């Protein structure tokens, strides 16, 4: 049996359930999951290996019309992932309002096989599901349509079988024991960012970036220091909270998750730093990995 390997891009609007799907497929808490839209800014790769297959998933940012520089560089990730995908999974919420023409144009232009994944069907009726399937047949005529619930893991195995069937014959792109091609620092920063999304309101998470400044593995403990970067002093004060109570919470929750993730003890230090308007400054975006 020859080995198959390839790149699978997961695309769809913010909040369609891409990250949850990614985690259901990879079987690890890999991609940042939060009820707020627009959190995945990077192409996070999750890699699924078995004896004869290697599936490399990239979870693209939700497709949006760029509003400022940061979003423009996010969109270039989306374009890139459509070009180099062997298979495209288009994730759409069962209750989607069909304002996805920007995505559909891109999907019609691609030469890659497209599968439509109608997600969140646990929140709908059979009739709705049937109507949705007909709608997508007509609108996009994809190669396959799956009705599923990423959250409940419902109908995930058939999607994996479909992918394995359609993958090109190719030797593995990555070592078979690598779960992901992103470094541990990246996951640590994602975990910290996830906690900020959960613990703070409104604009705070969107004006925040997390940079892991040091990551040292010692025999008994891993020592990690990270900077949380915001745009204004007022945001810094909110992040730190009364007598440092909020930042302590972020640190505790993040440390517990990181310990679980690396399966070892962690000492985590967090610093909050103000860089005015970092989102519009190209050199900072470059440092945070948004610009190639």
Same domain? For 234 and 118 the reply is no
Same domain for 142 and 223: no
Is 63 annotated for ligand binding?
A: yes
Binding residue per annotation — 289?
Answer: no
Looking at the structure, do residues 96 and 236 belong to the same domain, yes or no?
A: no
Q: Is 168 assigned to a binding site?
A: no
Q: Find the CATH number of the domain harbouring 258.
A: 3.30.300.20
d(CA 146, CA 136): 11
The reply, when asked if residue 60 is annotated as ligand binding, is yes
In a domain, 225, yes or no: yes
pLDDT at 95: 81
User: Which one of 166, 201, 221 terminates a domain?
Assistant: 166
Whether 103 and 79 have beta carbons less than 8 Å apart is answered as no
Residues 109 and 211 in one domain: no
Specify whether 13 is located in the same domain as 117: yes
Is 17 marked as binding a ligand?
yes
- The residue to which tokens 């990879």 are assigned: 26
Domain that holds residue 142: 4-166
Q: Is 121 annotated as a binding residue?
A: yes
**pLDDT score of 242:** 92
d(CA 73, CA 290): 6
Question: What was the pLDDT predicted at 94?
Answer: 83
Look at residue 35 in the predicted model and tell me its pLDDT: 41
Helix (H, G, I), strand (E, B) or coil at 35: coil
Query: Is 27 among the annotated ligand-binding positions?
Result: no
Is 13 annotated as belonging to a binding site? yes
Q: Are residues 15 and 144 in the same domain?
A: yes
In angstroms, rounded to a whole number, what is the distance separating the alpha carbons of residues 292 and 128?
42
Q: Return the pLDDT at 42.
A: 45
- The pLDDT score that the predictor gives to residue 43 is 58
Query: Per the annotation, does 12 bind a ligand?
Result: yes
112 is in an annotated binding site: no
Establish whether 61 is an annotated binding residue. Answer: yes
pTM of the complete model: 0.59
pLDDT tens digits, 198-257:
888 766 777 788 888 888 888 899 999 999 998 889 989 989 999 999 999 999 999 998
- Residue 206 is encoded by which pair of tokens? 């969107």
Domain total for the chain? Answer: 2
67 is in an annotated binding site: no
- Are 113 and 141 in the same domain? yes
* Rounded distance between C-alpha atoms, residue 248 and residue 233, angstroms: 18
What is the per-residue pLDDT for 199?
Answer: 86
Residue 127 lies inside a defined structural domain of this protein: yes
**Low pLDDT (below 50) residues in the chain:** 31-42, 64-66, 181, 290-292
């Amino acid at each position: 049996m020859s080995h198959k390997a390839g790149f699978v891009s997961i695309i769809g609007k913010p909040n369609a359930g891409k990250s949850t799907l990614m985690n259901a497929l990879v079987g690890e808490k890999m991609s940042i999951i939060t009820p707020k839209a627009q959190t995945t800014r990077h192409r996070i790769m999750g890699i699924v290996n078995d004896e004869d297959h290697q599936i490399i998933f990239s979870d693209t940012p939700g497709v949006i019309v760029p509003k400022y520089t940061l979003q423009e560089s996010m969109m270039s990730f989306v374009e890139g992932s459509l070009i180099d995908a062997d298979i495209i999974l288009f994730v759409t919420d069962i209750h989607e309002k069909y304002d996805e023409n920007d995505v559909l144009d891109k999907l019609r232009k691609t030469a890659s096989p497209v599968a439509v994944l109608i997600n969140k069907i646990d929140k709908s009726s059979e009739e709705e599901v049937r109507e949705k399937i007909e709608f997508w047949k007509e609108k996009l005529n994809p190669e396959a349509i799956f009705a599923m619930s990423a959250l409940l893991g419902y109908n995930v195995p058939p999607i994996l079988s479909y992918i394995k069937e359609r993958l090109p014959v190719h030797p593995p792109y990555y070592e078979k024991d690598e779960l992901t091609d992103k470094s541990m620092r990246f996951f640590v920063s994602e975990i910290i960012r996830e906690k900020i999304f959960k613990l703070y309101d409104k604009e705070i998470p969107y004006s925040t970036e997390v940079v892991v400044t040091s990551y040292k593995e010692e025999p008994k403990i891993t020592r990690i220091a990270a900077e949380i970067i915001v745009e204004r002093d007022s945001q810094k004060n909110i992040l730190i909270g009364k007598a440092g109570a909020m930042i302590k919470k972020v640190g505790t929750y993040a440390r517990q998750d990181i310990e679980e993730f690396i399966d070892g003890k962690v000492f985590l230090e967090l610093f909050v730093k103000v860089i005015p308007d970092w989102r519009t400054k190209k050199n900072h975006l470059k440092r945070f990995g948004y610009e190639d």
